[in-house]
Amino acid sequence: MSASASHDKCEPNLTPLLDVVLQLVMFFMLCANFVMESVNEDIVLPLAIEARALDKDVRDYMILNIDAKGVTTVGPEVFETPIKIQGFLKNQHDLDKARTKPAEWEKGKGRSVVVLRAHKDCSYKQVDDVMNVCRKVGYNNIQLRAIKANPRT
């Protein structure tokens, strides 16, 4: 055995590891972008004594944002009145139904959950009008978002 052979170091190849890490970073950036696109930061949620997060088993959900003036947004789409959002919701409901097997649809599976994020200064009537349009179209699982108030304050 020669003297030069005993001094060779065995170093791992880090290139594949770096590739995987960069792909994961890009994946999480895309996921965060899609979530942030559907949430309107201008909406200040009301405080509630009890509030809970969206169930982890819910896979399909649609976020509707209602601002202080009663204008409803879904991602980049803006609807001035609840009547104007009815056509959009009907199309989404039809897409849900088309991608679900008929037997599962009858059991109530495959339908998106509607998450309403209403500004704390909008009226109850504005929220109720949007909820009624959702029910009329066929969305019965509607959840309201709020911020859990600290009971000590």
Per-residue pLDDT reduced to its tens digit, 1-53:
555 556 677 888 888 888 999 999 888 877 765 555 556 667 777 777 776 77
Identify the band that residue 128 occupies on the pLDDT scale cut at 50, 70 and 90. very high
Angle at 90 between CA 61 and CA 39, to 5 degrees: 35
Nearest to 66 by CA among 112, 120, 111: 120
Q: For the chain, what are the domain ranges?
A: 41-148
- 11: Cβ contacts below 8 Å, ≥ 6 apart: none
Specify the fold of 41-148.
Nucleotidyltransferase; domain 5 (3.30.420)
Distance CA 46, CA 26 (A): 34
Helix (H, G, I), strand (E, B) or coil at 83: helix
- 76: Cβ contacts below 8 Å, ≥ 6 apart: 37
The full DSSP string for 98-144 is HTS-HHHHHTTTTPPEEEEEE-TTS-HHHHHHHHHHHHHHT---EEE
- What is the percentage of the chain residues whose pLDDT exceeds 70? 84
Q: What are the phi and psi torsion angles at 107 (to 5°)?
A: -80, -5
Supply the mean pLDDT for the chain: 81
pLDDT tens for each residue of 64-120: 889 888 888 888 888 988 888 998 999 888 888 888 888 887 776 777 788 888 888
Please tell me what DSSP assigns to residue 70: S
